[in-house]
Chain A
Amino acid sequence: MTDRPYELVIGIETHVELATESKMFCGCAAKWFGAPPNSLVCPVCLGLPGALPVPNKRAIELAMVAGLALNCEVPAHTKFDRKNYMYPDLPKGYQISQYDLPLNVKGWLEITTSAGNKRVGITRAHLEEDTANSKHGEGYALIDFNRSGVPLLEIVSEPDMTSVEEALAYVRALREVLVFSGVSEVRFEQGAGRFDVNVSIRFSEKGAIRWPPQSEIKNMNSYAALEEAVPYEADRLWQEWQAGGELRTRKGKITVGWSPERKQTFLQRSKEDVQDYRYFPEPDLVAFAPTRADVERLRASIPELPIARRARFTREYGLSDYDARILVDDRALADFFEAAVRAAGGDAKTVANWVTGEFLRYLKNDGGSAAGAKITPAQLGALVALVKKGEVSSSAAKDVFAEMWQTGSAPDAIVKSKGLTQVSDESAIAAAVDAVLAENPRAIADYKAGKTRALAALVGPVMKRMGGNANPGLVNQVLADRISPARRGGERMRDILDIDNLGSIAAENDRRLLKYFITTPTYESLKTQQKYVAIGRKGTGKTALYQGLEAAKAPDTFIAGLAFNEYPWKLHDHALNANAAESERFVNSWRFLILVEAAKLVLSDESFGPDEPTKALRAFVEANWGDVKFSHRKFYEPEKFMVTRSEIRPQAMGISAAAVTKEWVERSRLGESIGSTLDWLESVLAAALARDKTYFVLFDELDTNFDPEDQSYGLRLVGLLLAAKKTASWAQGINRHLRAVIFLREDIFNHLQFSDKNKIREDAAITVKWNDDESGPESLKSLIDERVRAEMDLSHFERDPWGVLFDAGERMRGTQQKYKHMTARTYLRPRDMIKFANLALTEAQSRIRNEGGKHQITNVDIQRARPAYSDYLVSEFDDELAAYKSGWRDLLGVLRRLGREVFARAEFNLA
């Protein structure tokens, strides 16, 4: 990549002023930029004798927020120290800073370069006070104390960067994190932020690795300076080494400045040693220990950071990296986009095209911010929906947008007033098509002779006849329909005799499931981790949902799909905590399993090299289960477990390695001794789970062998639900995307009794349900549509797959259409609908073979399928009800004797 004869090694120390109202140790205003010189001062920040510092709580909190956003550990104790040196900008003769116990240690920041993503280590981030500003003139110097005592955060990186590109990416990413988390405005240009860059070169010479001492380039405050100074100084070091200069013998680093005018560095100090500052603890301030509660509260206050938001935009909305970057770079624009997607009811890519296209173009022309635009997200969403519904063409939509931008009017009002409504009335289009076809008999002959382009030539005349307002998709479809009714949408398709069925009613047996999987709101709420308990009646498609979610595996989405049929419950029971309250008895055994499954997911992520947390997790999993890919069915198989015990209570984040001891316990004693191991696992996972990745542990098939009388069955499930709840609130607290997702039958959930049940139902659970509407993602119609589309090879543009398979000519008795006729006979479960359709399909196929007639499912076929379907439905009841209600078969007998669909209470009592 580079033709330099050496390797670059770069570390950066960044100073930023914190966004507090007042200074670090006094009440003076901290926003000094632009204030008259020496107008924001008091005895404390002037360093007058006898003045005592009072620490600014907000500054300490912001410094901790910065550390948390940079994935740092918060040590148990921290203190302030005096850094002694004499300089006119430092009136006390010392600066209050932090020496050996800084607020934040051992973090990392993810950067993105053309080579991909990389973590740059953060050594520490500590709090100190800023110095005064000095101005040097001819023969005099001026000092302004307004800046003196402003809270300053110094963030020290590891020397992990190996190119100027990486150094720039680091400073930019750091600025982004600090600004977004509200820690600092990072106004480099105002001198309210600056960075010192440590540059060294490493190379091999005569077979030996040479790494001479570095240069520290001080006080840079622009990306341009960084970009020029680093290569300059590195080259200078190389030249000096080649020329046999003092670098060959020098031991310590030197400090240089950068002259942007002369584009070169100049020597400031040749030697600087830590001892020179004679650090000692600040006697006027006490050491303090942040509490875990404080840390978690601050952590929760950090908003979603850009890098995470970008990742989420590509993952959740399917946007390109490029679009995600454009949107996220401007927080208001990203917020606008998300609100518009919600208003449009999905269609994120289309919304993104509007926002990054028209919206941004107008914004750039007219100036201003996304938040201040006349057009609201709801209006843009409404416009996208209008285009989708075919009520306005996409080209007319641009005119509508222009009007919305100027006036802020609602899109539907503009469409109406300007007469832009697109005609989607099939009969009007059909009339125009017929007229055009009558004028062009030649085109029909050409088309039938195989010249498919003849069709395209007719679209123009039809559009013209419709005044340009026809829905072009529909015009194409009607044209194709009229010329050759057997072909829909101009696509080839399979005949009804060529398809086997519309899929199996048991999702676990259906390999085609993902082909016609439809993304329902239920699926979305699980995938976006808003909900984590999916409950539904038997046959409503929980397993399909489970499989759909499991298939969402991606480079940034890690999924462990655990099925609990054939799970050794007896072994699991060994790990219960007999001392706990009944409903809590299984909680820790499940938390243990969830956290270890999460650890296995982390260890399966190959995009990062092994770091301390992942090494610790691997060692733990290997010690207990032998390898990191073991099956969850073997989780409680070991008879002894290696657990960890911390000697001190975990303070804040992370327990230092020295405080953790390991020991082996019998499986039967696991329940009572697992608590500290869970704490340890949480603290290590907090560092190991990537902030911009998503992790799922899925629990399915928990209902096999369900027995309402078996109390321990119920307690295990209660424990699992509570463990999932704990996992969710823990992950939310540390801003990580981990959920244990539970798929559970509704009757079983209802049967469980525990105190948090309503809370879980309200906050965490979503019910899988379907309706008999004729459109919409939760309608049985759209479910059958996708299956027909897949099985009959229909085009994606086919708007009515149902109408391809089912004969629409005659109606069912009365006014009921086939669809309503069928759904009324189901329990609104996909299983029933698929079964009914499959039986009707079989009837249609045998009718066509034996009697001929329409190659579609007709009323006759449906009538003939009804007895078999009815038997099926009764057997379904048998499965579901037999467990609870023993008398239900007697009831069937009574109904049979009554012999009528509708009956009165008195008749029933008699029978």
Chain B
Amino acid sequence: MIGYIKRGGSGGGTDTVYQYKSPLAGWDPEATQFRVHPGLKEHLGLIEER
């Protein structure tokens, strides 16, 4: 539901790691940035980030 943002992902940008997509990646307790699953945005009335 919430993914953590990993720097230095493919192409040097950022990747969001979701548990449903990468069950083996685990949770990064050091992560500081998080992203809500895009499917929930409308329900929660979140502002999109580009």
Contact = CB atoms under 8 A, between A and B. Distances in A.
A498 interface: no
Given A877-B1, A908-B34, A900 B49 contact: yes
B33 to A, nearest CB: 6
B45 A832 contact: no
Interface residues of B, number: 24
Contacts of B31: 905
Contacts of A824: 38-39
The 10 closest A-B pairs by CB, nearest first: A870-B42, A825-B39, A870-B43, A867-B42, A873-B39, A902-B49, A874-B43, A896-B44, A901-B46, A905-B32
A866 B44 CA distance: 12
A827 B43 contact: no
A869 B32 contact: no
Interface string B6-31: 00000000000000110000000001
A337 B34 CA distance: 52
B45 A828 contact: no
Contact of A827 (B2, B20, B34, B44): B20
A900 B34 contact: no
A895 B2 CA distance: 10
Contacts of A870: 39-44
Interface residues of A, number: 29
Given A828-B20, A828-B21, A902 B43 contact: no
A47 to B, nearest CB: 71
Contacts of A873: 37, 39-40, 43
A908 B21 CA distance: 23
B49 A904 contact: no
A904 B32 contact: yes
A89 to B, nearest CB: 72
Contact of A866 (B32, B36, B42): B42
Given A896-B46, A905-B31, 16 more contacts: A826-B39, A828-B21, A866-B41, A870-B39, A870-B41, A870-B42, A873-B37, A892-B44, A895-B40, A899-B47, A901-B36, A901-B38, A901-B48, A902-B33, A902-B34, A903-B33
B46 A895 contact: yes
Contacts of A828: 20-21
Candidate in B41, B42, B45 with the most chain A CB atoms within 10 angstroms:
B42
A832 B39 contact: yes
Interface string A177-219: 0000000000000000000000000000000000000000000
Given A825-B39, A869-B39, A901 B47 contact: yes
A871 interface: yes
B1 to A, nearest CB: 7
B21 to A, nearest CB: 7
Contacts of B34: 902-905, 908
7 contacts: A895-B40, A899-B44, A900-B49, A901-B36, A902-B49, A904-B34, A905-B31
A832 B40 CA distance: 12
A465 B47 CA distance: 54
Interface of B: 1-2, 5, 20-21, 31-49
Contacts of A537: 20
Interface string A109-121: 0000000000000
B36 A827 contact: no
Candidate in A867, A877, A900, A904 with the most chain B CB atoms within 10 angstroms:
A900
B36 A825 contact: no
B5 A869 contact: no
B14 to A, nearest CB: 10
Nearest to A822: B39
A599 B50 CA distance: 62
A510 to B, nearest CB: 22
A536 to B, nearest CB: 12
Contacts of B49: 900-902
Interface string A524-545: 0000000000000100000000
A867 B46 CA distance: 11
A816 to B, nearest CB: 11
A902 B5 CA distance: 9
Nearest to B14: A902
Contacts of B32: 904-906
Contacts of A869: 39, 42
A459 B37 CA distance: 49
A737 to B, nearest CB: 32
A589 B7 CA distance: 53
Nearest to A903: B34
A382 B20 CA distance: 34
A904 B4 CA distance: 10
A537 B47 CA distance: 29
Contacts of B41: 866, 870, 901
Given A828-B21, A908-B34, A899 B46 contact: yes
A132 B18 CA distance: 78
Contacts of B46: 895-896, 898-901
Contacts of A871: 42-43
B35 A902 contact: yes
Nearest to A821: B38
A826 B18 CA distance: 12
B45 to A, nearest CB: 7
Contacts of A891: 1
Contact of A896 (B1, B20, B37, B45): B45
A832 B49 CA distance: 23
Contacts of B43: 867, 870-871, 873-874
Contacts of A904: 32-34
A101 to B, nearest CB: 59
A900 to B, nearest CB: 5
A895 B40 CA distance: 10
A902 B50 CA distance: 10
B30 to A, nearest CB: 10
A903 B1 CA distance: 14
A299 to B, nearest CB: 39
Candidate in A873, A877, A899 with the most chain B CB atoms within 10 angstroms:
A873
Candidate in B5, B33, B35, B39 with the most chain A CB atoms within 10 angstroms:
B39
Contacts of A908: 34
B17 to A, nearest CB: 13
Candidate in A827, A874, A902 with the most chain B CB atoms within 10 angstroms:
A902
B13 to A, nearest CB: 13
B45 A827 contact: no
Nearest to A892: B44
A826 B34 CA distance: 18
Contacts of B42: 866-867, 869-871
A900 B33 CA distance: 12
